[in-house]
Amino acid sequence: MTMGRGIRFVACVMLACALLPAPGRALDRPVRIGVLSDMSGPFSDQVGAGSVAAARLALEDFGRESGGVQVELLSADHQNKPDIGLGIARRWLDQEQVAAIVDLPNSGVALAVANLMRERNRVALASSAMTSDLTGKFCAPTTVQWVSDTWAQGSATARALAERGARAWYFLTVDYALGHALERDATRALAENGGRSTGSSRLPLGTADFSSALLSAQGSGAQVLALANTGADMINAIKQAGEFGLTPKMTLAALFIQLSDTHSLGLEAAQGLQLVSAFYWARTDATRAFSDRFAAVMNGRRPTEDHAGVYSTTLAYLRAVRDARTIEGDKVVAEMRKAPIADPLFGTVTIRPDGRAVHDLYLYEVKPPSESKGPYDYYKYVLTIPGERAFRPLQDGGCAVKGAGN
């Protein structure tokens, strides 16, 4: 999908497609949501077409409780370039009257688009963006960050492994906002738990040859090879680490891995990998039911945590629009914050004043092939990280939004 074209999915969510019946209604046209994603690049398996499918499922479910609200869905490919993503967002706002933009993988794109949405008082639903700066120094009353972030991923993984004695880490870091934040937040958590970084290699997005970085890691004396990257870059790094003989001598810790990445790697290469995730398709009956619906429209694929995040944040947003009877961004997000959300995929979710959606996270280990019962049966549960400990404390983020404790 190119930036100049999008898919429009119109949901006439009541049989009569009526507008809101109550007096004083503010919605006199369909609510338009844009899925801004990586449709063809290194993150496309994590998000991409699956994110569009997840958003459509959210619109279908909202149709049963919409109160007459009509919804239209658009999508486009930001190509992992902030200028392209920003251009699409501006066009959507100016020409399509888009009320919210969801997904936003690639932290650089997410930060740029979130700032624009703040200026226009529309909502950035950063379900797939990972930089913790979105709820820190660049927080906004119009941003919600749903699934996870670099602070949570780095801190939880670093604490868990450091407590088991693996305190010396070497980082392979993708050289843009996501990688920088993952390395920064994991290094801080390591230091707080008696650990240290033995070094890092920063590599551009799309790196194919990790040999030099892996040799540096091998010679650093590190116990853990920490992958501060994701998508195709991380997959290639893990495969090459095995070829170089780094595993099982070093523990591999993926600071941001998705189910689609594990599927591409295969259990032979990925077994033993340590990871933290907010969603796993087989965790509960509710996550299985959603995953079955997703698989039915995605040729048997199971959803990643980013796909689940698109579904949940889109549904929560639409419910808030319905209840607040407006698409003004600050008012809709304030409505989302009013009470805890009983979400079938993420459990109880509370949205803080800084825009952080707080819920439990889970530590998993990738199964060896002998323990898997079939396709996508890849993770074994290790422990639950309660939401109040999983995410950065509200007062520590540097968010200047009212109520954020600064």
pLDDT in tens, the chain (406 residues): 444 444 444 444 433 333 333 433 457 899 999 999 999 998 899 999 999 999 999 999 999 999 999 999 999 999 999 999 999 999 999 999 999 999 999 889 999 999 999 999 999 999 999 889 999 999 999 999 999 998 999 888 888 888 888 899 999 999 987 888 889 889 998 999 899 999 999 999 899 999 999 999 999 999 999 999 988 899 999 999 999 999 888 999 999 899 999 999 999 999 999 999 999 999 999 999 999 999 999 999 999 999 999 999 999 999 999 999 999 999 999 999 999 999 999 999 999 999 999 999 998 999 999 999 999 999 999 888 899 989 999 999 999 998 886 5
State the alpha helices, DSSP H only, in 26-81.
48-62
Q: Give the integer Cα–Cα distance in Å for 185 and 329.
A: 29
Helix (H, G, I), strand (E, B) or coil at 327: coil
State the alpha helices, DSSP H only, in 244-328.
259-265, 267-270, 285-297, 305-324
pTM recorded for the entire structure: 0.88
- What residue has token string 């039915």? 296
Q: Give the integer Cα–Cα distance in Å for 28 and 386.
A: 41
**Superfamily for the 9-148+283-359 domain:** Response regulator (3.40.50.2300)
Structure-token pair, residue 59: 């619109």
Domain boundaries, the chain: 9-148+283-359, 151-282+360-386
Within its chain, how far is the Cα of 225 from the centroid? 22
- What residue has token string 């939401």? 387
Note the pLDDT of residue 26.
Answer: 53
Q: Give the integer Cα–Cα distance in Å for 317 and 69.
A: 12
CA dihedral 80, 84, 86, 90 (to 10 degrees): -140
Note the pLDDT of residue 331.
Answer: 98
Which numeric CATH code is attached to 151-282+360-386?
Answer: 3.40.50.2300
Note the pLDDT of residue 17.
Answer: 37
Same fold, 9-148+283-359 and 151-282+360-386: yes
Structure-token pair, residue 400: 């200047």
Which residues are CB-neighbours of 145 under 8 A, at least 6 positions away? 126, 127, 129, 134, 135, 355, 356, 357
